[in-house]
Structure 1
Amino acid sequence: MKTTRHCFALDLKNNPELIAEYKEYHSAGNVWPEVIKSIKVSGIVDLQIYLVENRMFMIMEVDETFDAEKKAAMDANNPKVQEWEDLMWTFQQALPWAKKGEKWIPMEKVFQL
């Protein structure tokens, strides 16, 4: 199976209590099952989020069935995923250069060994 990697960045609000709560929501077994299912059925085979201070990096490995527009449409029509996204937005803040409504911003690969 061939996979493709996508990397994104987003900030959390710079508040230690909110960051701790965000991390707790993302600890093993705490992400809502409907969200996990939505990720898996869309062709995402691995998804990891890394954090430094309040900046997050998401690394997403997708298979050949993944379609970003289809995933966005599926999520928009899934009330539980929308509830999760609304809840997560209470912890997150857009990057300074993000356009209105943008959340996770795609990153440019600048080096590979």
Structure 2
Amino acid sequence: MKRYGHLIKLKDEKVEEYKKLHEAVWKGVLERIYQSNIRNYSIFYRDGFLFSYYEYVGMDYEADMAAIAADPTTQQWWELTIPCQEPLNTCQEGEWWAKMEEVFHVD
């Protein structure tokens, strides 16, 4: 199992819309996340930023992430959520949510 943290800005005018969307995430999106070996997934909000955390339990992260990206239901979901977000200026090319480095963990 590997832990992942990501960060992105949430547009001020989209905060309530984004929260409302996540009160009822589509079943197909949740199923695809689970099928792609993601567990314990959370998104937190504070001061215009979203922080996501999840645990990956699979064997091929790149393939599982590609399966999520190729999923038609997830693509429709992203059509609603992506306009709410704004990547950080420090993102790498092709990166939407900024990857974070884990510097501490304790069980």
Letter in 2 for 1:88: T
User: Paired residue for 1:25?
Assistant: 21
Runs of 5+ consecutive residues of structure 1 not aligned to the other structure: none
**Could you tell me which residue of structure 2 aligns to residue 96 of structure 1?**
89
> Partner amino acid for 2:10?
L
CA RMSD of superposed structures (Å): 1.6
Tell me if 1:86 matches 2:68.
no
The whole-number CA distance in structure 2 between the counterparts of 1:66 and 1:33 is 24
What TM-score results when the alignment is normalised by the length of structure 1? 0.83
Deviation of residue 67 (structure 1)?
A: 2.7
Which aligned segments of 4 or more residues in structure 1 are displaced greater than 6 angstroms?
Answer: none
Amino acid at match of 2:6: F
TM-score (norm. length: structure 2) = 0.87
1:11·1:92 contact (CA, 8 Å) conserved in 2?
Answer: yes
Work out the percentage of aligned pairs sharing the same amino acid: 31
Which residue of 64, 74, 85 corresponds with 2:67?
Answer: 74
CA distance in 2, matches of 1:102, 1:108: 15
1:62/1:99 Cα in 2 relative to 1: closer, same or farther (>3 Å)? closer
Contact 2:44 2:50 in 1 (8 A): yes
Higher helix share: 2
Return the offset for 1:98: 1.6
Q: 1:5 maps to which residue?
A: 3
Match of 1:47 among 41, 44, 68: 41
Once the two structures are superposed, what CA deviation does each residue of 1:1-43 show, in whole Å capped at 9, x if it has no partner?
xx3211111111122xx1011001112xx10111100110111
Structure 2 spans left out of the alignment, 5+ residues? none
- Counterpart-to-counterpart distance in 2, 1:85 and 1:51: 18
